[in-house]
Amino acid sequence: MKTKLNGILTLFMVLVVQLSFAQEKTVTGTVKDEDGMPLPGVNVIEQGTNNGVQTDFDGIYKIDVEEGAVLSFSYVGFGTKTAQVGSTSEINITMIVDAAALDEVVVTGYGSTSKRNVTTAISQVDADDAQKISVANISAALQGNSTGVQVTQSSGAPGGEVRLRVRGATSVNGSNSPLYIVDGVQIESGSTISDSYGGQQNSALSSISSSDIESIEVLKDAAAAAIYGSRASNGVVIITTKRGKSGKPKVSINSYVGIQNPIEKYETMNYGQWLNFSDDYYEASQGSGYTSASRSGNSELLGASDAELQQFYNSVTGVGDNYMDAIYRDDAVVRNITGSISGGTDGTQYYLSGSSYDQEGVILGQDYHRDNFTMNLNQDITDKFRFTGGATISSEEQIVSNGDNNIYGVLSTAILESPGNNIYNEDGTYNSSTWQFSNPVQNALLDQGNLETFRLLANAEFTYDFTDWLSFSSKYGLDNMNLDEKQYNPSTSAQGAGTNGYAYERMARIRRFTTTQALNFDVDINDDISFTGLLAGEYNGRKYNFVSAERSNFASPELQEVSQGATVLGADGSYNESKLYSLISRASFNLYGKYIITGSLRADGSSKFGENEKWGYFPSISGGYILSEEDWFDSEAFNFVKLRASYGVTGNDTGIGAYDALAGVSSTPYAGSAGTAITEIGNPDVKWEVTSQFDIGFSLGLFNNVISVEYDYFDKKTDDLLLNIPLAYSSGFSSFYGNVGEMSNRGHEVSLDVQVFDREDFSWKSSLGFSTLDNKVTSLDGNSPFTRGFASRVQEGEELGAFYVLESDGLYQEGDEIPAALAADGVGAGDVKYIDQNGDGIINDSDYIIGGSPWADFTASWTNNIQYKNFDLYFLWAWSEGNDVFNSTLQYTGSAANPVYGKFTNQLNYWTPENTNTNTPRPNYSTSAYNNYDSTRLVEDGSFIKLRNVTLGYTLPKDLLGFGSIRFYASADNLLMFTDYSGIDPEVNYSGDSAVTSGTDFLTQGGNKVYKFGVNINF
């Protein structure tokens, strides 16, 4: 019986084994990413077992499993996929990038951490969005994507500056732009050479191609930025460029072409309208010495009746060329093409790219071209020693006509020139004998400047891992810029005619070198406590060399080099060098996965500052508490809750030159012999401006991060403002440079991200940003307030750059009582009525008030990313509320009530006894200057809502291609604008980077509408 039972059991086991062998099979397949590129090293695991393999270099795997088994596919940075084994022996998988799986690594400065562990205010910008909408300048990628960061295109000129402000302004005389770090190295980011007539500044950041950017982080609070010490009061923008990944070569080609037109154009009078206006002007000015014989300068019209005059005006309406139309190009072209290849092995990864960008200016005489080449390399030399490095070479050429924001520019001369003139004479030559100003077309095409920039950005880092928790890195960085600017005005041009030709040349050489030696710690003390740390030393050196020369009187228009001019008008040159030595430390503890504490301390020693203030110390402390990790936390709505607070100290060293702390000596002839004299007094106590900032906020994730919320309140105080301090006349000097004064910036920031839908064929992510700012100059330490630019004021208790103006109360009407002193000067009905603040019967400096501010009450943005099957849609709205604009263009042209300047069509609505419901004063010579005073009549509400970008794309189905992906798209910038501002663009700013004189519009070129069509190819 026992033998029979054993036989039955043996037979049963044999049958089971045979059945098992019958069900086990070999499954193979390929694992790829969304672009169809194979993924090496993907983990393929049979669920519930230890049976697993990895994909090879081509993304291919092979595994033996039973039918019905479930395979799990996982890879860092991608969402896990599962597949059940059926009758087929081939299972191919497409992995989808999963941001949550990555836990969003955030670059923090000299390191990185997960977003979960961030305890400071850091904004991240999705570089993919920037590439989808094809921004030309990397600063523009931040528009609407980072709360508390104001991004403004100062001018529509090609290559013009994009201005960034992070949480307000911290300096009066220094820069208020953030510090820029590219791949761990500080770069030169200030404005470069401007054209000779003071036009818009150029952006040094324009030399970096947005297609090479992997990520952008903005360190907004002092605790995050304090690791950069004396250079970080205005925040830090950290840019990381793309690098290669292991796998087969991946090729990307991106190209677009587009057309540009101005958002708005000024409307100017035709010849008939202008003559009518001129006649009224001369008639009203008879009391100032004019007679009827002067009317219009047309003697044949003497004694003509009003009807005959009107008939004449109508008959000459079409006489003369429309200069405003003539200076603008129709559909100025912009084009860009970039290509890259990346890939590598487990030990070597590479990234190579090249790009070419061309932009025609919408105004004649303006063009911009840029070429870029980038190479990045990662190399594992041994299993513990590795190299990371890269270089970007860029070449730029910017062709500019006489700049805007001045009376010599192309835009301004088109406004100011007599509308009765023609551009060309009958023989086709330029009409140079214009009535008042230069021929704007001649100005644009002959009076041109050329700015060429050659730049090398390079970095190299060697890292050695002593253990799994201790490493040493040695990093080196170089930013080398060569700038060459030339302008030649031939004798046939308006600017060169009086001097028989004019030429100038300027050359600047800027070299910035950085080296950082660092020990990095990453220790898991036990299962509940981890520690990361940094100890580093750093050196920053900067050299600047500048020379210029200008000459006139050229023998021939063909000889255009400055050396060919017979008359020397001037030559100049300068050299300066500065050095910064630093010690850096940081420590961060993560306790039980819910308490995070981080502290840092940086010591900076600068050659720029006084003998008694060579070193400064910049500490920070921050903490975070993740409530959602508590055992007692149980919420169906909130899956993540983090509270955080921080405090830090930073500095700003841009307000003082390399040698301003020292006494200045200049050559001074004495008694017929050469000599020297002290012309500037030194200050051994001068140092950087110091900004301390407190920040408190929270981060929320709701419904498994379907909704994410970030909130921050910040209180930012700047002490030791660098200002000129007056001295007694008996000292022999008028002032010296020192640290006095205080400024504050306070505000709230809220960002809301909502994954509205997330389905296989349809997804929609919507993001809202909202921020407020309260800026104030809290102290000038006893120094008198002062005005810069046109009406921008620096005054205790007021916002920086607030407008210091007279208060206007409409226009005087017939029968109004006019103060005797004003009436004696000819002020009458139709002239501006100013409020006499002190009641002394005269209008003078004592009556000026603060009548507006360029700072917005709040800014907001709304971005959307929508995906439906193969279609994608992106759009961005921007809203600025409460900011004022001082309209100096209106002051200089329309409101001057003078036909020499007043040629805007809105000037035709001037006051007359029959037209009293207007704010435009009467045309009158004797009171035109009076009516032109800085006043609240020129301060306008600059609030606006703009549709900054709309992009619609379509990706071809993968089964049509068999490889990679191809996406076609159409994009539009500045498609819609809603504003009450009477100028062409409320965002223009004549002073470029200056925070003191921001919000002023003076004959400045506005922004452009841009329509682009492009293609993205990946394989």
Whether 337 maps to a domain, the answer reads yes
pLDDT at 691 over 50: yes
Residues in contact with 303: Cβ distance below 8 Å, sequence separation at least 6, in sequence order: none
pLDDT at 303 over 70: no
| Token pair for 390 | 């890269």
Least confident of 57-66, 409-418, 626-635: 409-418
Q: From CA 563, how far away is CA 1001, in angstroms rounded?
A: 37
Residues 168 and 72 in one domain: no
The region of weakest confidence among 279-293, 405-419, 926-940, 956-970 is 279-293
**pLDDT digits over 484-537, tens only?**
988 888 887 767 778 899 998 999 999 999 999 999 999 999 999 999 999 999
At 536-577, the pLDDT tens digits run 999 999 999 999 999 999 988 888 889 999 999 999 999 999
Specify the pLDDT at position 960: 82
641 and 514, same domain (yes or no)? yes
201 or 267, greater pLDDT: 267
Measuring CA to CA, how many Å separate 866 from each of 289, 759, 954? 69, 11, 12
pLDDT band at 286 (very low <50, low <70, confident <90, very high): low
Closest residue by Cα to residue 412 from 899, 1004, 999, 888: 1004
| pLDDT band, very low/low/confident/very high, at 897 (cuts 50, 70, 90) | low
Report the CATH number that the domain containing residue 957 is assigned in CATH.
2.40.170.20
Q: Are 14 and 6 in contact (CB under 8 A)?
A: no
Task: Give the sign of the dihedral formed by CA 295, CA 299, CA 305, CA 306.
Answer: negative
Q: d(Cα 357, Cα 994) in Å, to the nearest integer?
A: 28
Whether the pLDDT of residue 603 is over 80: the answer is yes
- Is 275 a domain residue? no
Residues 638, 573 share a domain: yes
Q: How confident is the model at residue 767 (pLDDT cuts 50, 70, 90)?
A: very high
Cα 149 to Cα 1019: distance, rounded to the nearest angstrom: 36
- Can you tell me whether residue 633 is helix, strand or coil? coil
109 in any annotated domain: no
Cα(44)–Cα(55) distance, integer angstroms: 8
Q: Phi and psi dihedrals of 244, rounded to 5?
A: -75, 160
Please compute the mean of the pLDDT values over residues 625-640 and round it to a whole number.
92
Same domain, residue pair 723 and 585? yes
- 1008: pLDDT confidence band, cut at 50, 70 and 90? very high
The CA distance from 178 to 654, in Å, is: 11
Neighbouring C-beta atoms of residue 745, cutoff 10 Å:
25
290 burial (CB, 10 Å; 0-12 / 13-18 / 19+) is: middle
Q: What are 954-988's pLDDT values in tens digits?
A: 999 877 877 788 999 999 999 999 999 999 999 98
Residue 458: which of 433, 442, 481, 476 has the closest Cα?
A: 476
pLDDT at 13: 40
Look at 725 and 696; give whichever has higher pLDDT. Answer: 696
DSSP character string of 416-461: HS-TT--SB-TTSSB----SSS--HHHHHHHSEEEEEEEEEEEEEE
More confident residue, 353 or 734: 353
Contact 252, 345 (CB under 8 A): no
Same domain, 89 and 134: no
pLDDT of residue 587: 97
Are 31 and 71 in the same domain? yes
| Confidence at 23, pLDDT banded by 50, 70, 90 | low
Q: Which two tokens stand for residue 402?
A: 């006489």
232 versus 430: which is more confidently predicted?
Answer: 232
pLDDT of residue 437: 59
Q: Report the range of poorest mean pLDDT among 383-387, 622-626, 759-763, 776-780.
A: 759-763
Label residue 372 exposed, middle or buried (CB < 10 Å: 0-12, 13-18, 19+): buried
3-state secondary structure of 35: coil
Contact criterion met (CB below 8 Å) for 966 and 162:
no
Same domain, 528 and 629: yes
- Nearest-angstrom CA–CA distance, 103 and 111: 16
Over residues 654-660, the mean pLDDT reads 84
Per-residue pLDDT, 433:
61
**Predicted pLDDT at 704:** 84
Mean per-residue pLDDT over the chain, rounded: 86
Whether residue 902 is contained in a domain is answered as no
Same domain flag for 158 and 93: no
pLDDT of residue 8: 38
Which positions ≥6 away from 209 have C-beta within 8 Å?
338, 353, 355, 357, 370, 372, 374, 394
**Residue 19's pLDDT is what?**
39
Judged on CB neighbours under 10 Å (0-12, 13-18, 19+), 643 is middle
The predicted pLDDT at position 7 comes to 46
Q: What is the per-residue pLDDT for 9?
A: 37
Q: Note whether 241 and 212 are within 8 A (CB).
A: yes
Distance CA(501)–CA(495), nearest Å, equals: 8
Task: Please write the tens of the pLDDT for every residue from 365-382.
Answer: 889 999 999 999 999 999
pLDDT score at 22 = 41
Q: Identify whether 556 is part of a domain.
A: yes
What distance in Å separates the CA atoms of residue 384 and residue 300, rounded to the nearest whole number? 94
Q: Which residues of 117-130 are buried (b: 16+ CB within 10 A; e: fewer)?
A: bbbbbbbbbbbebb
120 within a domain of the structure (yes/no) = no
Residues with Cβ within 8 Å of residue 6, at least 6 apart in sequence: none
| Alpha carbon of residue 939 to chain centroid | 25
The CATH number that applies at residue 58 is 2.60.40.1120
Lookup: tokens for 156:
């529509």
Rounded Cα distance, 181 and 188, in Å: 9
- Encode pLDDT of 828-874 as tens digits: 999 999 999 999 999 999 999 999 999 999 999 999 999 999 999 99
Distances (CA, A) of 377 to 325, 523, 653, 955: 50, 28, 34, 30
In angstroms, the CA 338 to CA 646 distance is: 41
CA–CA separation, 241 and 201 (whole Å): 26
CA distances from 510 to 178, 188, 477, 483, 544 (A): 19, 8, 14, 8, 5
Query: What is the number of domains present in the chain?
Result: 2
Same domain flag for 95 and 134: no
* pLDDT class of 730 with cuts at 50, 70, 90: confident
pLDDT at 780: 92
* Claim to verify: residue 347 and residue 441 sit in the same structural domain: yes
Domain that holds residue 58: 23-101
- In the prediction, which pLDDT does 14 show? 41
Closest to 24 (Cα-Cα) out of 109, 89, 120: 89
Tens-digit pLDDT profile for residues 898-929: 666 668 888 888 999 999 999 999 888 788 88
Kindly indicate the confidence band of residue 934, based on its pLDDT and cuts at 50, 70 and 90: very high
pLDDT value, residue 6: 46
CB atoms within 10 A of CB 25: 16
Residue 762, in any domain of the structure: yes
Q: What is the pLDDT of residue 3?
A: 46
Main-chain dihedrals φ then ψ at residue 705, nearest 5 degrees: 65, 20
- Side chain identity at residue 148, one-letter code: G
pLDDT digits (tens, 9 = 90+) for 132-186: 777 777 777 777 778 889 888 777 788 777 788 999 999 998 889 999 999 998 9
Give whole-number Cα distances, 32 to 233, 351, 833, 961, 984, in Å. Answer: 45, 20, 74, 15, 50
* For the chain, percent of residues with pLDDT exceeding 70: 88
Domain end residue (candidates: 80, 101, 122) = 101
User: Does position 128 have pLDDT exceeding 90, yes or no?
Assistant: no
Give yes or no for a contact between 834 and 935, defined as CB atoms under 8 angstroms apart: yes
What pLDDT score does 114 carry? 86
Domain closes at, from 101, 117, 149: 101
pLDDT above 60: residue 251: yes
For 126, 186, 252, the CA distances from 1014, given in Å and listed in that order, are 20, 33, 13
20 burial via Cβ count (<10 Å: 0-12, 13-18, 19+) = exposed
Higher pLDDT pick, 302 / 27? 27
Q: Looking at the structure, tell me whether residues 46 and 165 fall in a common domain.
A: no
Q: Are residues 72 and 210 in the same domain?
A: no
The DSSP result for 634-693, as a single string, is: --SSEEEEEEEEEEEEEEE-TTS-TTTTSPEEEE--BTTB--EEEEE---TT---EEEEE
Confidence of residue 1 (pLDDT cuts 50, 70, 90): very low
The model's pTM: 0.86
Tell me, yes or no, whether 760 lies in a domain.
Answer: yes
Task: Give residue 18's pLDDT.
Answer: 43
Give the integer Cα–Cα distance in Å for 188 and 543: 11
User: Does pLDDT of 10 surpass 50?
Assistant: no
| % residues pLDDT > 90 (the chain) | 53
Alpha-carbon dihedral 185, 191, 193, 196, rounded to 10 degrees: 180
